[in-house]
């Protein structure tokens, strides 16, 4: 589960009299455990978790009366403990406990960005217990999967985005959490693994003797790329087996100067002109950023190659990338365009004649150059 989407009761958002301003200041900062499964439960964190309170709103409640009087906004400038997170997993056990594991708060460029390596245990009676771990035994983990195995004796964690300096291309993070002792240990697996994977799916198969891993993204020399294959992890031997090796055509188109793309701004501008009564600003700063008037015609044709194709409807998937994805059908094959901050990734789900795939790639490069008012390049993915 990526987002904390449980129903929150109104009284869960109230801190209660035990959370005094002094206690809040004492426990507002994020911190690691100093030993295995160190209990770090305190009224502040329990309140933040129950109400899924983020550090900014928690800080607003307890900032000084002087700052409140003058309306001073006080954004956190260092990592704080967050009750609402992205990339945290939620695992229900048959005894009524719910394990909430790790996750992250904010974006990597924010001063209060933090990836957690903790465990929150929510008991059937509503009691909350919070446990911390040293990074030496449990690395900060986010956008992983958590699967109950071995008759609910273990929660197996697979994958992570992690901090950039901790990622290892070709290695798949694996951790086993003991549901009784709450100890966490790294698992050494053998075989052909998916590599540094995140945001994927993990499914028990073969009567619970293996886990099927699919989807998500994998770290490569070209950054995080979509995982288009499937792997199986044996739970007897902890050995990986690659199940597929799809020879799909894939390429990236980006600006040659490595600057970020402006496709989001184009989308907002297009929406503003098509819906003038909504309140979006039609006169944005896009022209100034591009150094030329935005080429709305090229933007509208960006994913319309000069080959016979049929547009496809948006998928009903809850995948985080779906809103950035455009699909077309060419010769019975699905072609997906997925735009990111600095690239447009194109995947042909099958094989096309080289002349046609080259034409589609060169067409996108030409149009993106017009959209960005900058030279663009093609990077083919092997």
Distances in whole angstroms, Cα of residue 182 to Cα of each of 162, 165, 177: 22, 27, 6
Same domain, 229 and 284: no
Same domain, 79 and 182: yes
Same domain, 230 and 196: yes
Number of domains in the chain: 2
Distances in whole angstroms, Cα of residue 206 to Cα of each of 154, 234, 238: 18, 10, 14
Same domain, 136 and 263: no
SS3 171: coil
pTM here is 0.90
Is 1 part of a structural domain of the chain?
no
Same domain, 91 and 233: yes
How many residues can be counted in the chain? 382
HEC states along 233-270?
EECCCCEEEECCCCCCEEEEEEECCCCCCCHHHHHHHH
Is 373 part of a structural domain of the chain?
yes
Which of 242, 275, 302 is a domain's end point?
Answer: 242
Same domain, 74 and 215: yes
Q: What was the pLDDT predicted at 253?
A: 99
Is 5 part of a structural domain of the chain?
no
Q: What was the pLDDT predicted at 60?
A: 87
Same domain, 266 and 215: no
Which of 217, 242, 267 is a domain's end point?
Answer: 242
Are 30 and 114 within 8 A, CB to CB? yes
Domain interval for residue 183: 10-242
pLDDT tens by residue, the chain, 382 residues? 334 556 666 678 889 899 999 999 999 999 999 999 999 999 999 999 999 999 999 988 887 654 555 556 667 789 999 999 999 999 999 999 999 999 999 998 999 999 999 999 999 999 999 999 999 999 999 999 999 999 999 999 999 999 999 999 999 999 999 999 999 999 999 999 999 999 999 999 999 999 999 999 999 999 999 999 999 999 999 999 999 999 999 999 999 999 999 999 999 988 888 877 665 555 678 999 999 999 999 999 999 999 999 999 887 766 667 889 999 999 999 999 999 999 999 999 999 999 999 999 999 999 999 999 999 999 999 8
- Determine whether 249 is exposed, middle or buried from the number of CB atoms within 10 Å of its CB (0-12, 13-18, 19+): buried
3-state DSSP helix/strand/coil % of the chain, to nearest 5: 20, 30, 50
Same domain, 21 and 116: yes
Same domain, 138 and 48: yes
Is 168 part of a structural domain of the chain?
yes
Same domain, 235 and 370: no
Is 23 part of a structural domain of the chain?
yes
Same domain, 271 and 194: no
Within the chain, where are the H helices?
21-27, 43-50, 55-62, 65-69, 263-274, 286-290, 296-300, 354-372
Same domain, 84 and 130: yes
Is 20 part of a structural domain of the chain?
yes
Q: What was the pLDDT predicted at 77?
A: 82
Is 308 part of a structural domain of the chain?
yes
């Amino acid at each position: 589960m990526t987002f904390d989407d449980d129903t929150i009761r109104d009284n869960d958002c109230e801190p209660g009299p035990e959370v005094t301003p002094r206690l809040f200041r004492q426990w507002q900062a994020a911190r690691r455990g100093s030993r295995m499964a160190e209990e770090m439960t305190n009224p502040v964190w329990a309140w933040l978790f129950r109400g899924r309170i983020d550090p900014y709103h928690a800080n607003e409640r307890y900032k000084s009366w002087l700052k409140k009087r003058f309306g001073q906004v006080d954004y956190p400038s260092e990592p704080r403990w967050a009750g609402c997170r992205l990339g945290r997993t939620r695992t229900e056990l048959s005894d009524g406990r719910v394990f909430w594991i790790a996750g992250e708060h904010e974006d990597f460029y924010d001063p209060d960005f933090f990836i957690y390596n903790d465990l929150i245990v929510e008991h059937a009676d509503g009691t909350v217990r919070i446990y911390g771990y040293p990074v030496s035994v449990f690395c900060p983990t986010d956008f992983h999967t958590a699967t109950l195995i071995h008759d609910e004796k273990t929660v197996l964690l697979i994958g992570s985005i992690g901090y950039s300096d901790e990622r290892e291309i070709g290695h798949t993070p694996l951790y086993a959490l003991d549901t009784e002792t709450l100890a966490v240990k790294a698992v050494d697996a053998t075989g052909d693994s998916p590599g540094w994977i995140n945001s994927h799916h993990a499914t028990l198969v073969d009567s619970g003797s293996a886990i099927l891993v699919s989807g998500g993204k994998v770290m490569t020399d070209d950054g995080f790329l979509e995982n288009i294959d499937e792997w199986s992890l044996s739970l007897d031997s902890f050995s990986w087996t690659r199940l597929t090796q799809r020879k799909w055509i894939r390429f990236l188109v980006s600006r040659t100067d490595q600057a970020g793309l402006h496709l989001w701004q184009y989308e907002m501008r297009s929406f503003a002109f098509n819906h003038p009564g909504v309140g979006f600003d039609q006169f944005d700063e896009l022209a100034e950023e591009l150094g030329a008037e935005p080429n709305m015609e090229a933007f509208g044709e960006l994913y319309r190659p000069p080959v016979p194709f049929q547009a496809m409807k948006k998928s009903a998937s809850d995948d985080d990338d779906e809103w950035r994805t455009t699909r077309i059908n060419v010769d019975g094959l699905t072609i997906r365009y997925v735009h990111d901050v600095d690239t447009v990734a194109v995947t042909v789900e099958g094989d096309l004649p080289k002349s046609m795939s080259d034409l589609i790639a060169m067409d996108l490069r030409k149009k993106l150059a017009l959209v960005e008012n900058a030279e663009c390049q093609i990077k083919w993915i092997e």
